[in-house]
Structure 1
């Protein structure tokens, strides 16, 4: 179904209360983790840095149709994450805590808005996670975590590139890794995030709950290099309360990842690329970006 330009401008008007294009309708960025991400690390203090570059090829409506004209953009993110696995146990699991501080730079060029350019950069909303629980077996690992994204960043309802969301998000995490052989060379992993949002004060809209799954199939070579197939699937489960429409966002992608661990240096480096092959917009955003993601992930055991 094709929409006239006036309908697209109306959709854009709804999207001016949008969040940065990296997320679906919440805070968590799909594709930021990859192979074996559902396994909590051993006791110790860890720094993990994420470099993300997201190229936007087009914007889609609730039916998956592309907005007319050339509508592009990019998001660059550098997120700092600290993980402390305390050495204590709870419910038979290793217990830890974490915090994430993201930095964002967003640029959007939208023909559908009369050739307007939107941009913003700065510190994003901060995440504090007081609960990480990690269970470990001979050929499996499982993780549960809980935390909250706080509404700490600047938000402008008239700027779709705004680095802040204008609302908070409670995020629950559950995932697991199954190692297919005793040597742990082959593995299948899935890491899910469930997000519950608060009301966006400037608009009076409460984004609906969303669920995201990052998955991977990996193989570690004799050299220690790990290669694999990765992807993510994200769904908005509830319509946004107070939004002009009842549409619900979703996004799907597939990609490849490579990673290497230097045990003596306590350093791990991973790189991945994802291609989004389907995206649909929800009520709060009006339009949903579709594009390609490039990620570098650096972990240092402190």
Structure 2
């Protein structure tokens, strides 16, 4: 499977509306709830591998954001940390394992810009840390067991009534898993959302992600050929904003055009906790 175990540091499709709308200086808490399931493994030709395979992941990730008063290169400096709690259940053939606990935490810094009251953008860099439990002999792991650096850019176009559009583009540089001597290839991926605002706090539309592995994996110094991963997803999205500091986004997405990875579907919810 492309990238080690067919997975990656970032949960593709994680973001939705308001991805680049950095709020005023202050302290903020966002909560992400994710449910993902897959029962197909897809090969390099796009065909299903004949193997009894199932994976179910439930995640609750808390994101703490500090938007500072500091201006840097014309942008507002923000720092954040994400702590995901995971339940991972994997079945392959007649083997089944389940693990629950802390996953790989994320540390990051970004600069937010407001081109107008509608157009907002962010440039940032995230560092994914190997804090999740890992054992190369387990089916189910809570972490990837390597460091990852992920520069990113995001843009949001926001209206109470009319078109709403969001895009977050990321590029992953993966470190080496020291237990397996495996280095996953570099990855380019993007989350997107496109919807229509009805003027009453509600936005409804579509969203998903696009993913493509750019460079080959290596193991023990040798290239793993014909193994680049790819996937697309799409599904319905919505946003509700009460105009008083609370908002919620949600979407359901189905993966397709998959290569060298698991193919599945997910539901994702994001909401903020105002203080």
TM-score, with length taken from structure 2:
0.92
Q: Provide, for residues 231-267 of structure 1, a one-character-per-residue CA deviation record: whole Å limited to 9, x for no partner.
A: 1001111111226722111111001111111233x22
- Structure 1 residue 90: Cα displacement: 0.9
1:110–1:244 distance in 2 versus 1, CA, 3 Å: farther
Moved over 3 A (4+): none
CA distance in 1, matches of 2:223, 2:180: 11
Runs of 5+ unmatched residues, structure 1: 1-10, 19-23, 282-287
Q: Structure 2 residue aligned with 1:29, among 1, 7, 11?
A: 11
Say which SS state the counterpart of residue 152 (structure 1) adopts: coil
Please, what is the CA RMSD of the aligned residues? 2.0
User: What are the equivalent positions in structure 2 for 1:222-237 lying under 5 Å apart?
Assistant: 222-237=199-214
SS in 1 for 2:18: coil
Query: Structure 1 residue 90 and structure 2 residue 60: aligned?
Result: no
Q: Does 1:66 align with 2:48?
A: yes
1:101 to 2:74 alignment: no
> Is the contact between residue 36 and residue 216 of structure 1 (CA under 8 Å) also seen in structure 2?
no
1:280 is aligned to 2:262: no
Counterpart CA distance in 1 for 2:69 and 2:196 is 29
More strand per residue: 1 or 2?
Answer: 2
Matched with 1:177 is 156
Structure 2 partner of 1:255: 235
Question: Which residues of 2 match residues 171-250 of structure 1 at below 5 A?
Answer: 171-178=150-157, 185-242=162-219, 245-246=224-225, 247-250=227-230
Match of 1:292 among 265, 269, 275: 265
Q: Structure 1 residue 229: deviation in Å?
A: 0.9
Does 58-67 or 203-212 show the bigger shift? 58-67
Ranges in structure 2 where 5+ consecutive residues have no aligned partner: none
- Give the superposition deviation at 1:27: 0.8
Alignment: residue pair count: 271
Would you say the 8 A contact 1:84–1:97 is kept in 2? yes
- SS of 1:174's partner is strand
- TM-score, normalised to structure 1's length? 0.84
Distance in 2 (alpha carbons) for counterparts of 1:160 and 1:245: 21
Residues 110 and 116 of structure 1 are in contact (CA less than 8 Å); yes or no, is this contact kept in structure 2?
yes
- Is the partner of 2:16 in helix, strand or coil? coil
1:49 is matched with: 31
Aligned to 1:284: none
Equivalent of 1:141 in 82, 102, 120:
120
2-structure distance, mates of 1:41, 1:251? 32
Residues 1:119 and 2:92 aligned together: no
- Tell me: CA distance 1:244–1:109, structure 2 relative to 1, closer, same or farther (3 Å): farther
- CA distance change for structure 1 residues 157 and 146 in 2, over 3 Å: closer, same or farther? same
**How much does 1:146 deviate?**
0.8
Aligned to 1:132: 110
